[in-house]
Amino acid sequence: MGTQPQTLYGLADSPVGLAAWILNHDAYSYGQIADAFVEGRPAGELTRDAILDNITLYWLTNTAISSARLYWENPFDFFAAKDVSIPAALSVFPHELYQAPRSWAEQAYDELVYFNEVDKGGHFAAWEQPRLFSEEVRAGLRPLR
């Protein structure tokens, strides 16, 4: 994704730098967070307190770097999955940076057990829409019972 290690290591040096990196992830997420934080209008379950709690959790546990490593240590193309032979479930959130079409998912995952396009949510779907996200996880795992 182009993020350099030195950029990520700055996250561990400053709570303000960490907050900026989390808050300015993508345009949709930034808008949702800005509405909740600056304007005081919750975006789904995303509130000012939830935003501060999340940033504080990363800061106090010193886990910003480990959560961001995926972006710069992964030598593979994120969107080049193919011949994945384990059961897979895919929920497509409309404001995610990339919405995988069903045709791609069926080619990439040999055992696609669940595919659903939901009405709301973005890159931080579990944070923005926790109920919807948990319902999708349950629905995705249901075929494996």
Select from 124, 137, 136 the least CA-distant residue to 44.
124
Q: What is the distance between the alpha carbons of residues 21 and 30, in angstroms, rounded to a whole number?
A: 10
Q: Hey, what amino acid is at 102?
A: R
Q: pTM for the whole thing?
A: 0.75
pLDDT at 7: 52
* One pLDDT digit (tens) per residue for the chain, 145 residues: 444 444 555 566 788 888 887 777 778 888 888 888 777 787 778 888 888 898 898 888 988 888 777 667 766 666 676 788 899 999 999 998 888 899 999 988 999 999 999 999 988 898 889 999 999 999 999 999 8
Cβ pair 45, 86 in contact under 8 A: no
pLDDT at 2: 47
Q: Identify the DSSP state of 92.
A: E
Q: What is the distance between the alpha carbons of residues 111 and 87, in angstroms, rounded to a whole number?
A: 5
> What residues contact residue 17 under an 8 Å CB cut-off, 6+ apart?
10, 11
Cα→Cα distances 58→4, 36, 52, Å: 19, 19, 10
> What residues contact residue 20 under an 8 Å CB cut-off, 6+ apart?
none
